[in-house]
Amino acid sequence: MAESSMPFAELMGIEITAQAKDRVAGQLTVREELCTAGGILHGGAYMAFADSLGALGGFLNLPAGARTTTLESKTNFMGSAKVGQVVIGEATPLHIGRRSSVWQTRITSAEGRLLALVTQTQMTVLD
Protein backbone atom coordinates (compact mmCIF):
# COMPACT_ATOMS: atom_id res chain seq x y z
CA MET A 1 0.00 0.00 0.00
CA ALA A 2 1.55 3.24 -1.07
CA GLU A 3 1.13 6.41 0.97
CA SER A 4 -0.95 7.84 -1.89
CA SER A 5 -3.60 5.21 -1.19
CA MET A 6 -3.99 6.71 2.31
CA PRO A 7 -5.27 10.21 1.50
CA PHE A 8 -6.11 11.15 5.10
CA ALA A 9 -2.61 10.16 6.24
CA GLU A 10 -1.21 12.36 3.48
CA LEU A 11 -3.45 15.25 4.56
CA MET A 12 -2.14 14.90 8.11
CA GLY A 13 1.46 14.86 6.86
CA ILE A 14 2.32 11.33 7.97
CA GLU A 15 5.57 10.08 6.49
CA ILE A 16 5.97 6.29 6.39
CA THR A 17 9.61 5.48 7.19
CA ALA A 18 9.48 1.66 7.31
CA GLN A 19 6.96 -0.96 6.29
CA ALA A 20 7.14 -4.71 6.72
CA LYS A 21 4.75 -7.44 7.86
CA ASP A 22 6.12 -7.20 11.40
CA ARG A 23 6.77 -3.45 11.76
CA VAL A 24 5.45 -0.19 10.35
CA ALA A 25 7.04 3.11 11.35
CA GLY A 26 6.37 6.71 10.53
CA GLN A 27 6.73 10.26 11.69
CA LEU A 28 4.57 13.33 11.92
CA THR A 29 5.53 16.96 12.35
CA VAL A 30 3.13 18.71 14.71
CA ARG A 31 1.41 21.59 12.88
CA GLU A 32 -1.08 24.11 14.26
CA GLU A 33 -3.88 22.51 12.20
CA LEU A 34 -3.40 19.28 14.17
CA CYS A 35 -3.49 20.92 17.61
CA THR A 36 -5.81 21.87 20.42
CA ALA A 37 -5.66 25.23 22.17
CA GLY A 38 -2.16 26.01 23.31
CA GLY A 39 -0.42 24.37 20.35
CA ILE A 40 -0.59 20.79 21.73
CA LEU A 41 -1.12 17.84 19.37
CA HIS A 42 -4.80 16.84 19.45
CA GLY A 43 -5.64 13.40 20.85
CA GLY A 44 -7.50 12.56 17.65
CA ALA A 45 -4.34 13.28 15.66
CA TYR A 46 -2.40 10.79 17.82
CA MET A 47 -5.15 8.24 17.21
CA ALA A 48 -5.31 8.85 13.45
CA PHE A 49 -1.51 8.61 13.20
CA ALA A 50 -1.50 5.26 15.03
CA ASP A 51 -4.52 4.01 13.08
CA SER A 52 -2.76 4.72 9.79
CA LEU A 53 0.33 2.78 10.84
CA GLY A 54 -1.62 -0.19 12.24
CA ALA A 55 -3.91 -0.31 9.20
CA LEU A 56 -0.90 -0.41 6.90
CA GLY A 57 0.54 -3.27 8.96
CA GLY A 58 -2.78 -5.10 8.74
CA PHE A 59 -2.87 -4.54 4.99
CA LEU A 60 0.64 -5.94 4.54
CA ASN A 61 -0.49 -9.21 6.15
CA LEU A 62 -3.66 -9.72 4.10
CA PRO A 63 -4.24 -12.56 1.67
CA ALA A 64 -4.68 -11.57 -1.98
CA GLY A 65 -8.00 -9.89 -2.71
CA ALA A 66 -8.80 -9.01 0.91
CA ARG A 67 -8.98 -5.62 2.57
CA THR A 68 -8.86 -4.42 6.14
CA THR A 69 -10.75 -2.01 8.36
CA THR A 70 -10.27 -0.90 11.94
CA LEU A 71 -12.63 -2.78 14.25
CA GLU A 72 -11.47 -1.38 17.61
CA SER A 73 -8.92 1.09 18.95
CA LYS A 74 -7.81 2.12 22.44
CA THR A 75 -5.40 4.93 23.28
CA ASN A 76 -3.53 5.78 26.46
CA PHE A 77 -2.03 9.28 26.50
CA MET A 78 1.15 9.81 28.52
CA GLY A 79 2.58 13.07 27.21
CA SER A 80 2.18 15.96 24.83
CA ALA A 81 3.89 17.34 21.77
CA LYS A 82 4.01 20.99 20.75
CA VAL A 83 3.90 22.70 17.36
CA GLY A 84 7.14 22.12 15.48
CA GLN A 85 8.04 18.88 17.25
CA VAL A 86 8.28 15.58 15.39
CA VAL A 87 6.53 12.53 16.82
CA ILE A 88 7.59 9.00 15.90
CA GLY A 89 5.23 6.05 15.60
CA GLU A 90 6.07 2.35 15.50
CA ALA A 91 3.36 -0.29 15.05
CA THR A 92 4.08 -3.96 15.73
CA PRO A 93 1.69 -6.92 15.65
CA LEU A 94 0.52 -8.59 18.84
CA HIS A 95 -1.52 -11.12 16.84
CA ILE A 96 -1.95 -11.93 13.17
CA GLY A 97 -4.76 -14.32 12.41
CA ARG A 98 -6.95 -15.27 9.47
CA ARG A 99 -9.80 -12.91 10.37
CA SER A 100 -8.07 -10.14 12.28
CA SER A 101 -4.78 -8.69 13.43
CA VAL A 102 -4.01 -6.73 16.58
CA TRP A 103 -1.42 -3.95 16.47
CA GLN A 104 0.27 -1.94 19.19
CA THR A 105 1.63 1.48 18.26
CA ARG A 106 4.06 3.40 20.42
CA ILE A 107 4.15 7.13 19.74
CA THR A 108 7.21 8.87 21.12
CA SER A 109 8.93 12.22 20.96
CA ALA A 110 12.03 12.45 18.78
CA GLU A 111 13.98 12.06 22.04
CA GLY A 112 12.23 8.74 22.81
CA ARG A 113 9.76 9.91 25.51
CA LEU A 114 6.54 7.85 25.35
CA LEU A 115 3.58 10.07 24.44
CA ALA A 116 0.84 7.56 23.60
CA LEU A 117 0.25 3.83 23.40
CA VAL A 118 -2.45 2.60 21.00
CA THR A 119 -3.81 -0.92 20.60
CA GLN A 120 -6.07 -1.58 17.63
CA THR A 121 -7.77 -4.52 15.99
CA GLN A 122 -7.85 -4.72 12.19
CA MET A 123 -10.58 -6.90 10.71
CA THR A 124 -9.86 -8.87 7.56
CA VAL A 125 -12.61 -8.33 4.98
CA LEU A 126 -12.86 -10.95 2.24
CA ASP A 127 -14.73 -9.79 -0.86
Number of helices followed by number of strands (H, E) in the chain: 2, 8
The pLDDT-based confidence of 127 (bands split at 50, 70, 90) is confident
At residue 14, what are phi and psi to the nearest 5 degrees?
A: -70, 130
Question: Which residues constitute the domain of residue 12?
Answer: 3-126
> Over the range 66-75, which residues count as b (16 or more CB within 10 Å of their CB) and which as e?
eebebbebeb
CATH number of the domain enclosing 93: 3.10.129.10
Query: What is this structure's pTM?
Result: 0.94
Average model confidence (pLDDT) for the chain?
A: 95
CA pair distance 35, 28, nearest whole angstrom: 12
60-88: pLDDT as tens digits: 999 999 999 999 999 999 999 999 999 99
16-43: pLDDT as tens digits: 999 999 999 999 999 999 999 899 999 9
Domain count, the chain: 1
